[in-house]
Amino acid sequence: MSQAASKRRSDGEAGLGPDPADRRANDPVLELRDVAVRYDGQTVLDVPHLVVSRGETLTLLGENGSGKTTLLRVLGLLMKPRRGQVFFHGQEVDFGSTKDLLGLRRRVAGVMQEPLLCRMTVRQNVGLGLRFRGLPGEEINRRVGDWLSTMSILHLGDRPAGKLSGGEARRTSLARAMVLDPEVLFLDEPFAALDAPTRQSLMREFKQVLAQAGMTTVFATHDRGEAVGLEGRIGVLVEGLLAQVGTVEDVFSRPERPDVARFVGIETMIPGRVVGVSGGVTEVDCNGTRLFSDRIRHAGEHVHVAIRPEEIRLHRFSVQPEGDSFDGGAHNVLSGRIVDAAPSETHYRVEVDVGFPLVAVVSRARFRTLEFEEGSPVRASFSPQAAHLILRESA
C-alpha cells in the first residue's frame, strides 16, 4: 500500500471505506447470486455465482462481446441486473437507493480501455478525484506524489495530458484510480491498444504494484497471456455466460466445457467413450484408438479427450518413445504424418494426422533439428496427466 494510503487508513478518513484490518483477509468484497442482464429481450450476461475476495486479482477472460464490460458494470454497481442479487461486504445492494449507491461507488474505482484524461497536467489529473472528495491540499500532494513515483511518471507531473504517449497515458490513468485507494479496482482492457513491448512492460510493473498494494482487482481482457501473467483466479465468459472460474491451472489445463477449452487454446479435443479404469488410469476408446488419462471417469461415459498443444511431443518416426508404463510419462504414443506446419516468432504450430487432427507446438530450434516438414512421418506422445477428460452430453 502507498504511504498516502497507509496514512489515510491510520487517520481513519471517512467516506473511502473501512479499515481492511477490521475484516478477515479472505472476506468476500463482492458477491453475485443468480445474476442476469438482458438487452432487447436477449440475455447478455448470466452469472450463476461469483465471489470476489479481499486482496485477490480476478481476471475476466473472454472474446469481444462476451459480456466482460457488462459484468464489470454490475460488479461496479453501475448497472442493476434484470435478475439476481449483488452483495457488497455481505450486505445486499439496494439499487433503488441513489444515496446508498453513490456512497458505495465512492469506495471503488475503474480504468477503461481509453484513458479519458482531462485537459490538464498529469499531476492535476491524478489528484482530480481527491479534490472532488474534499481532501486537504497537503494530503492530495502527498498521495499524488506517492503514486506518480510508484507508476514511474513523477518526472511527467507538469506535462499536459495531451502530450503523453499511449503508455504514459495508461500509467496516469492507473495512478488516478489507485490514488483513491479503492476497495475494489476495476480495469476494462486498459492495455489493449498498446504495442506489444509497452503492454508487456506495463503488465510486469502493474503486477508488482498490485502485489505491494494488496488491492482487490477485477481485470477484464480478451488476451490469454495477460490473464496468465496476473496469476490470480480467472473467470471465463462465453457468450455472456460465466462458464468457469478457477486458478490458471484449473482453467487452462482442466477446462470444464468444450467452449472454454477452445478459448484457452486447446485445439485437440477427441470424442470418445470410457471403456475402463485400472490402476488410476482411465482408458478411452476414440473410434478405435485407445487413449489413457489420469482423470478418473466411469465406464460408458462419453467424453472429449482434451490435450494442450505444448503437452504433445513430436519425434522422428524412427524413434519409439518409452510408453509402456504410467511413470514413463509417454503412455500415449500415436503414429501419423505432418499435414501443416505454421511458424511463429518462437515456435511452429504443427498439425499431425493420426487418424484425427492432433495439434502440437514445437520450438523453432527443435523443428529444424528434427528436419520436420509437411508430409514427414512422426510419432506423437503425451502423458496421461496431459489428457484431460470433458464430459459430453451424448455420443
Any residues with CB less than 8 A from the CB of 340 and at least 6 apart, and which?
Answer: 349, 350, 351, 374
Q: Which three cell numbers stand for residue 14?
A: 471517512
Q: Please state whether 86 falls in left (phi above 0), alpha (psi between -120 and 50) or beta.
A: beta
β-sheet with 91-92: strand ranges across: 91-92, 83-88, 28-39, 42-53, 241-246, 233-238, 57-62, 217-221, 184-188, 108-111
- Whether residue 320 has pLDDT greater than 70: no
User: 322: pLDDT confidence band, cut at 50, 70 and 90?
Assistant: low
Q: How far apart are CA 101 and CA 224, in angstroms?
A: 33
Amino acid (one-letter) located at 283: E
Q: Is pTM beyond 0.75 here?
A: yes
Which domains does the chain show, CATH number per domain? 3-258 (3.40.50.300), 267-391 (2.40.50.100)
The count of residues in the chain is 395
For the segment 259-295, what is each residue's pLDDT rounded down to a tens digit? 999 999 999 999 999 999 998 999 999 999 999 999 9
Q: Sheet containing 377-382: give its strands across.
A: 313-316, 377-382, 332-343, 347-353, 357-363
- Distance (Å, whole) CA 381 – CA 347: 18
56 CB-near residues (< 8 Å, 6+ apart): 216, 217, 232, 233
- Residue 121 has what DSSP assignment? B
pLDDT digits (tens, 9 = 90+) for 182-226: 999 999 998 887 888 888 888 888 888 888 888 999 999 999 989
Measured CA to CA, the distance from residue 11 to residue 6 in angstroms comes to 9
